[in-house]
Chain A
Amino acid sequence: MAKDMSYEALNARKNEIMKAAMQISYEDFELAGIGFNYEKMMDEVGYSIEEMRKMQLENAVGNTPLLEMRNLTALARKYAPAGKGARILVKDEACNASGSFKARRAAIAVQQAKKLGYKGVIAATSGNYGAAVAAQAAMNGLKCIVVQECYDNDKIGQPEILEKQRICEAYGAEVVQLTVGPELFTTFLGLLEETGYFNASLYTPFGIAGVETLGYELAEQCRQRYGKDPDVVVCTNAGGGNLTGTARGLIKADATKTQVVGASIDLKGLHMASNGDFNKKSCTTGHTGFAIPFVTWPDRSDCPRNAARTLRYMDRYVIVKQGEVFYITQALAVLEGYERGPAGNTSLTAAFVLAQEMNEDEIIIVQETEYTGAGKHTMPQLTFAKQNGVDVLFGDPDNEIPGKTLVFPEDPGMIKAREYDLSKAKKSYIHNCVKNYDMATASEEDINYIMDEIKESREFVLAELKGAGITI
C-alpha cells in the first residue's frame, strides 16, 4: 500500500524516518529526567581525532594554513592603547575542498554513510554545507540531494544562496529548492523516506566531531610557530557546530587556557520565516536570527539531540553589524590580498576589535575563512541589498537597522564587538528547559545536567529554577 505522503503523515513518522536515515540510537543516551549523556554520545558515535584526520586528509580536507594578518594587526594597533594589539591569525579554511570548514563535517558524515552502506546522502542547508556534502559525495561515489530554502514568493533568491545552488549542481548534486518556511523540514523527511539516503545532518555527533580537528590543528600550528597556545580563538556562530567542534578540539589538544569567543552578526528584527524579510538580509549565515535560538535551545535541529551545544564551551559572545563585516571583508582583500566570503569574516571583524583589548604579545585566532565567488561576495550582496531597498551608508554602525540600513563605519575605529550577556542566554536556556519539558520538579540529575549544559554553578541553576517555580 502506498504510504500517506501528506504533511501531517510525514511529520507523524518523523522518528522512524530519522532512525532509518542515521542509525543512531539516541534513546541509549537519554537520562531519566530532562537530560542526556552528551559525552557518551560523542564517544560512542564519533571517531578519534587521529581517525578523523585520516578520513579528512584522504578527502582533500584539513591541514589548512594558519596565516598571519600583518596589516590588519598593524591597523588594530593604530587604534589600541600602547602595548595593546594582539597578533591576528586566520586559519584559511577556504582551502578545504568545497571552500569552507563545513567540509570537515561533511567528510565525516559522508564516510559514515558509506560505511553503513547508504547509496546517497541528503542535507537540508542553504549554506556552505551543501557544497561540502555535494563535493564529498562526489569523491566517494554517493548520490546527493541538497534541500535549500532559496527563494521568496516571487522566486527572487539571495545571490549567496544562488551560488550555493550552482556549486552543488557543479558537484553533481540534485538541489531541491523551496520558498521561505520551516516546513522545509517535512519535505526533507519525505525525501529521506523516498530515497532511503543517509541524513547527513549538520548536527549529528559525526558532523560536530568533524570540526574537532580544526581546533586541534590550530593549537598544533600555533604552538609550532609561536611556541605557545592561542590566547583567544574566535568562531563565527550560527547553528553552533563551528564553535562546539573547535572548542572540543582545543580541549583535546590540551589548550585548556585558550578563551573561546563566539561572534554573530546582528539581524535583530528580521523574522527568519518571513517572506518579506527573507531578501532583506545581507548575510545569510553567522547571524543572530539563527544563532540566538540555537544557543538558548540547541535541540531544535533535524536530529533528536543536537551535538552542537555552544553554552557548554563559549567563554564570551560578541555581536557585530553587517556593515562592519563588509568593511573588514574589504580590508582583508585590499590589505592582506585575500578575497574571502563575507559571512566567514564575522569572527575576523570581532577579532579586529578584541585584539585591541589584548596585549601585543598575545595571539588571537580567527578559526576560518570561506570561499568567495559570483553571488558570494560583497559586491553582489551590496547590489542586492540596494535592490531590496536597504540604504547603504557610512556612519555609526550602532545605528544600523537590519533590513533597512547597512552602515559602514565612518572609520575602522568605530567597529565594535558588542557584548552579548551570556548569563542572560543561560537563564533563557533554563527557562526553555522548564517550558519544553513541562518541568514541575528538578532531580539531582537534572540539576547536574543543566550545570554542564551552561557551564554554570549549582547556585546559578538553582536560583533560576526556583524563580520559575520548580520544586527541587
Chain B
Amino acid sequence: MTKMLTVDTNPVDCYLRVDRIPHIWCAGCGIGPATGCFLRAIDRAELNPDKVAVVSGIGCSGRVAGYIKLDSFHTTHGRALPFATGLKLGNPELNVVVFSGDGDIVAIGGNHLIHSARRNIDMTVICINNFNYGMTGGQMGPTTPLDARSATSPYGNFEYPFNLPYLVAASGATYVARWTVLHLRELERSIAEALTKPGFSFIEVLGPCPTVYGRRNKLPRGMDEMRSYQERSVIRDGADPKDVELSLNGPIVVGKFVDIERPTLWDCYQQMLDRVTKP
C-alpha cells in the first residue's frame, strides 16, 4: 500500500475557517479548547455538519460563530437565543447550537435564557463562563463570584451571582451539565450527548480569561487558572443543581446534573395542531 501524500493538518481544521486563524483570543484563553470539544463532538455524535447551525451573540465567546465553518450567525448582544428559536422553528430539521459567553447569555440575554428553557426549545446552549465581560475589559456580571475583583468591582464583588445549572434546571431545561476546559473528554462527550438529545440542553463551560479576569484575581496566566481547576474540581454526576454553587476559591462541582424527558415546544405545537385540525 502507498503512503498518504496529502499534507497533514489538525483534524478539526475541516470545521474551521482557517484563513481567520490565528484567532484573536489571548494566549491561554479557554474559548479555544471549548470550541475544539464542540467540533469533535459533532463527529462523535455522527451528525451531518450541513444540518448543524451555530448562533453566537457578542463577546470574545461570541466570536466562535465567525471561526467555525458551518452555517453560523453572529447576532446582536444577548439575542442569540431568540435568533436560534426562530431558526429552529423555521427549519426544525436543523441541529441548532448557541455558543456564547456568560455575559451574553445570562446578563443581557438572561430573560431569553429562562424562557427558552421554560418552552423547552430543542437546542443546545454552550455557555462559556469566564466570570466576567472579557471583551469589554473585564467588568463584573451576574456570574462573577462573591469577592472577585473586576474592572467594576475593584475591592471585590458584593453582589450574589447566579448558580447557572440551578437557574436553567428550575426554568425547565432537560439536560444540564457543567465542565471546565480541563475536562476535555467529559466535555466532548457531554456536548455530543446534548446535541443528540431533544429539548433544551445547557452546558456551562468554565474557561480561563487570564487577560482581564485572572490577572485581577491572583491567576495571571491561563495556566494558573487551569491548575486551580485541577485542584478544586470534583466530579459529581447527578448532583442536585442547587448544591453546585460556585465561589471564588471553593470547590468546583462538575458533571451532568439533569437529564430528563419533557415534550419540546415543537412537540406541543404538533399536538395542538392535530387537535384543532381534526375533522
Partners in one complex: no
